[in-house]
Amino acid sequence: MGLFDWWKRRARAQAPLPAPIAPPPAVPPPEPESEGRWQTGVEADRLWVRDPEGGRRAVALDALMAVAIETSDSGPDERSAWWLFYGPDEDVAFTLPLGARGEGSMVERIAALPDFRHDMYASAIRSTDIDTFVIWQRPLD
C-alpha cells in the first residue's frame, strides 16, 4: 500500500459522471389524414368542396343530377371511398373523399333530397369491394 493510494481511491470514486443523455428530439405532429385536408359543406342551396390545394368547386342543388359513392377493395377502415357529384351535363362536377371535414352537414342536406337511397348509402360506407353506389339521382321528367 502506497502513501497516496487513498488519494487514488478518492479520485476514482469522484470520477466525473458521464454526460446526461439528451432527450429525444421532439416529434413533429403527424400530418393530418388526407381526408382531413378536404373540406365540404352547404351554403344556401349549393354544395361545395375545397381541396387540399385550396381549389373550390360548387354545384347548385337544382343543377345536381346524381350523387354516387365509389369504393375500393381496401375496406371501410381504409377511407378509400370517394363521393362523386354529377352536375347539369351529367359530368362529374366535383369529387371528395369520404371523411372530409364538414361531411356531416353535406350528408344531412343530400339525405333530405327526395328519393335518397339510404340503403345504398349504408351499403357504400360498409363496402369492401370495388364498386359505385348511386345514392341519389334526379328523377327523369
What's phi and psi for 110, nearest 5 deg?
A: -75, -25
In a domain, 93, yes or no: yes
In a domain, 81, yes or no: yes
At 1 the pLDDT is: 55
pLDDT tens sequence across 85-100: 999 888 899 999 998 9
In a domain, 89, yes or no: yes
In a domain, 123, yes or no: yes
Domain span at residue 66 reads 31-137
Check if the beta carbon of residue 119 is closer than 8 Å to that of residue 112: no
Across the chain, mean pLDDT equals: 82
In a domain, 25, yes or no: no
Cα dihedral sign, 11-13-18-23: negative
What pLDDT band is residue 25 in, cutting at 50, 70 and 90?
A: low
At 59 the pLDDT is: 93
User: How many separate domains does the chain show?
Assistant: 1
In a domain, 130, yes or no: yes
CA distance 7 to 111: 87
In a domain, 70, yes or no: yes
- Mean pLDDT is lowest, of 8-12, 87-91, 110-114, for 8-12
In a domain, 14, yes or no: no
